[in-house]
Chains A and B, each alone.
Chain A
Amino acid sequence: MKPRYFEYHQPTSIDDVLELLSEYGDEAKILAGGQSLIPMLNFRIASPAHLIDINGVAGLDQLNLTPEGVQIGATARQRTVENAPEIALSYPLVRRALVQVAHPQIRNRGTFCGSVAHADASAELPSVVLALGAQIIARSSRGERTIPAKDFFEFHLVTALSADELVVEIQLPPLAAGSNGTYVEIARRAGDFALAGVAAQAVIDEGGTVQSLRMACSGVGPVPQLLEEAAQLAIGSDLSDELLLEIDNIVRTTIDPPDDVHASANYRRVVTGTVVRRALKQLRDESGSNHD
């Protein structure tokens, strides 16, 4: 199980990366953490003629927290994001999702941006950026553009990126005071892809009323899916147990997951409802404890 031949490039500047991308386009793949790409190379499922390793590019591994939000550079490791105390404090959703991504040995090498750009429909981070309303900054020799997460995912493993574009950064927006988030998933074993998973980010006011809520779920279709109808039902409510059951039911009817060897569509439908209910209950209960 050895990869096919490829030509390896190790540029040291973003300009060099972009030049290589513009030259080789579809024939090239970006190698960042490699934790999703290299298994595909080893299995010979993917065999790009050129591999452009961006780990040697200085200044791409930043993790900046500013009043304008968080900027996560293309080579910032998942481990770095997971271990940053400011992330744990301000973006609990991100940390709670990251600890469920594979295993530490993978997160030590895997990048945050790489997982998003890989766009596996079952993965955690695409749902996270969607729920947070993150922006994906893509650059090519033609210029730079900002792609909202909701427009980024087009199909399983397919994104809005052009062949010559590099994700240089992902920007998480600043969160309103009192905003809280969580990621709840059901997986066969610790570290497995989710059978059902949801990222939820909400503002619940002191009276326990939901002011805002965005939810995105993994593993229910070719792209991470926003649960807008369910969120609308929750906004303005106090997330009573009865309402949570209603939301659970709404979720089941609004998603159309696939069958595969791990679980049937019906299973994913039912359990996605359950994880949404559990995520919202957690956010409700945590908002309560904040005010006690």
Chain B
Amino acid sequence: MTDTTTISSGHKTVTGTGVKRREDRRLLTGEGKFLDDLNFSEFLEAAIVRSTVAHARVRSIDVSGAIDLPGVAGVYTAGDLEELLQNLPPKVVHPDMSHRVRFPIVLDEACYVGEIIAVVVAENRRIAEDAVDLVIVDYEPLPVVASTASALDKDGPIAHLDAPDNVCVHITQKAGDPDGALLSAPHVLSETFVISRGGGHSMEGRAVAARFDEVAGELTVWDATQAPHYARQMLAVFYEMTEDQIRVIAPEDVGGGFGPKAQFYGEEVLIPFLAKKLGRPIKWIEDRWENFVSSAPERTQTHRMSVGFDDEGKLIVIKDIFEHDQGAYCLGLQVPSITMSTLPGPYKIANIHSELFSCYTNMVPTSSLRGAGRPQAVYVMERMMDRIAEHLGIAPEEVRRRNLIQADEFPYAVGLLFRDGSPLTYDSGNYPGLLEKAESRIDLSAFRDRQIRERKEGRFLGVGIGMCVEGTGLGPYEGARVRLTNFGRIMLTLAAAPQGQGYQTVYAQLAADALNLDMDVIDVRHGDTGNIPFGQGTFGSRVTANAAPAVVDACTQLKGDLVKAASMLLGVPVDQIELSGTGAFVVDDPERTMSLLEITRAFNVGRHGIAVKPGSPVGLERTAYFTPERAAYSSSINICVVEVDPETGMVELLRSVLVHDCGTVLNPLLVDGQVYGGFAHGVGNALYEEMHFDESGQPQTVSYLDYALPGALELVTPELVDQETPSPLNPLGVKGVGESGTIPTPAAIANAVEDALRPFGARFNRLPITPMRVLDALGVLD
């Protein structure tokens, strides 16, 4: 039935408001659908035999005991899976890069603890793990590379047999004349900084399930991935199938991503293949131990940084040479290349030298985590800004102020290239605005008075600043498809798959405004390659700047179709039709309406065998893709206050003021949520999270007893201050925000700790700043 009032009551804009999430109810009531919640009665479960040695020649694998175990359907090694022995290629490469072939499963050389040696498939996970215990692998240990220093040591061990050395790539980017500028600069400071390994730690691990439909010849793969279309493309190549024969579905609920789930792993090749081979659906759920030893971590870098500046603290030159740990294989050069280009940040620097030595080691391969190379670069740059301030006796905020790119200097060309291959040209921003807002909120002069008073009482408080510019919204494209369904609702399909970001809410907001329809008639689904053919995935804070314009484009096109449809059905010109609520109405006679249901019955459902007028807008569906010209640059500042106990080395976070600028805000509730969560990850990197490996490459932190994720008591809620500088690179003016809380935070906290302990002259050049490292820096452990 058509309810006229719900149609012609006029549209109220919802984009930009803090609409509460549609996703919440199912998740709050236990009705969420995560991958392990899939339930086929005929499911088999897989468990994986992983290398226990960091580098070894695999002499033999005896699976006989495992195969004989009742309930085991099969045990597979590389010898059984020859057709899968193809390289899993890195995502981002460089012409000078030295490649190492990464097979989905070890052929004869294991290169890190955790690498896949064999797959067991059994009636349930318990039996599968029992069988894993019964597989006997004969390893011939080989020399192990367990650090970047060892990797780059010319006389050191080599991480792969038959490789000449451990260098993955050596790249230098320059702007101006850095070497000349270093010679002539009035002041030069140099430091070495080390950032340790940390992980993504989505609370749900990776997971893959698959079922082969022999009749249709179709393989359906459920994958807790950030990038289902990428996974499908890889599988199509591996299996020599067309993309239409493979459907990859990221479940409606994926329990966090943070980067590691945007990569493509051996399990994703092996599990579907075995499901097809055995003719039974198979499920593999990564457990937490596997997550530690096989999901890609990040962060490990060692920087040697020099800055040249004048008497006023104005930057003349930076020169940074850094080592980056790719792990045993290169999943891509995205992280170190982002580090290179993030280094200059919000500052005007005429002369830049950024030089990367990326190397192979015998540790789990690394890739992008929330921040993806940026927190390291910001840490190095921002620590040096504080050193400059200290050296010249100028306040740290003042040194920054003197160097910031001004609001009227955009677009600003830095002189380097970004990770997407485009020139590093900042699109828009207001960096002095960030600093001013943060300073005024935290009240630095009042804090410094208090700091002096507290020191007299034996309490050591410190304040630290971290500022950054963050490339977001990487291309090439993202897509959206919007359809009037047969029941008169709007179905918006996104290619990108979320892991908690609230796509079902924010994209319904955008679609409602683009269509001039009620949010309530719009459904949003995502992450299924069967529903939209092309997509890239959720990573690099890219989806908003790519998908949002695509959604608006597709919806605007559909709106035109709906107007045309209503005009034909109502017999009035199209300029007399407006959409509102749940349908269309006649502008001069709002009582005359046409509901979406009536439109779909006429033009989508149709009457079997009955003709409609030529030119009718049948099949009401539109698909659009948006291709940004280049990255959009978000920016943020975090000012943190800490207290340090110089007797125990414990650091307590007291306060954080975080100002971030991600352009136009589509839903402030979701944007704030991203920043809060990102901040917590940054605190983890600053103070808690560190993966340890011993000299033989054995991981020492494989549980949450040994790897410290910050809990509620370790955190504060940052005080958020918004600034909106729209991007000119997309019609909505949006930029990414998923990593903005993380990136400036380790720098801000480290600067604050050093500020707190300035009376002792303690230096903190290594992350995380553990209690032990604090006492070490104070010299009390000597």
Contact = CB atoms under 8 A, between A and B. Distances in A.
In the complex, A touching B, CB below 8 Å? yes
Contacts of A274: 647-648
Interface residues of A, number: 25
A186 B650 contact: yes
B492 to A, nearest CB: 39
Contacts of A189: 688, 708, 710-711, 713-714
Given A43-B703, A44-B133, A193-B705, A186 B289 contact: no
A4 B133 contact: yes
A181 B585 CA distance: 79
A264 interface: yes
Interface residues of B, number: 31
B137 interface: no
B289 A271 contact: no
B455 interface: no
Contact of B781 (A193, A261, A267): A267
A101 B540 CA distance: 39
A193 B703 CA distance: 13
Contact of A1 (B288, B710, B713, B776): B288
B77 interface: no
B129 A186 contact: no
Nearest to B705: A193
A267 B130 contact: no
Given A1-B287, A2-B129, A274-B647, A267 B711 contact: no
A190 B289 contact: no
A266 interface: yes
A261 B706 contact: yes
A248 to B, nearest CB: 9
A262 B706 contact: yes
B163 interface: no
A180 to B, nearest CB: 23
Contacts of B173: none
A274 to B, nearest CB: 5
Contacts of B708: 188-189, 192
A188 B706 CA distance: 10
Contact of B700 (A44, A190, A261): A261
A187 B379 CA distance: 26
A88 interface: no
Interface in B236-295: 287-289
Interface in A193-213: 193, 195
Interface in B84-136: 125-126, 129-130, 133
A263 interface: yes
B606 interface: no
Contact of A270 (B701, B703, B770, B775): B775
Main SS class of interface, B: loop
A5 B130 contact: yes
Nearest to A193: B705
Interface in A32-57: 43-44
Main SS class of interface, A: loop
Contacts of B763: none
Contact of A191 (B701, B706, B711): B711
Contacts of B649: 267, 271
Contact of A271 (B287, B288, B771): B771
B43 to A, nearest CB: 16
Interface string A162-195: 0000000000000000000000001011111101
B714 A2 contact: no
B780 A270 contact: yes
Interface in B692-719: 692, 700-701, 703, 705-706, 708, 710-711, 713-714
Interface in A253-267: 261-264, 266-267
A3 B125 CA distance: 10
B772 interface: yes
A190 B714 contact: yes
A229 to B, nearest CB: 21
9 contacts: A1-B289, A3-B126, A189-B710, A191-B711, A261-B706, A263-B772, A266-B781, A267-B775, A267-B776
Given A2-B126, A44-B133, A267-B775, 14 more contacts: A1-B288, A1-B289, A3-B126, A43-B289, A43-B703, A186-B648, A186-B771, A188-B770, A188-B771, A190-B711, A190-B713, A263-B772, A267-B772, A270-B775
Q: Which 6 A-B pairs have the closest CB atoms?
A: A1-B287, A267-B772, A266-B781, A261-B692, A190-B713, A2-B126
Interface of B: 125-126, 129-130, 133, 287-289, 647-650, 688, 692, 700-701, 703, 705-706, 708, 710-711, 713-714, 770-772, 775-776, 780-781
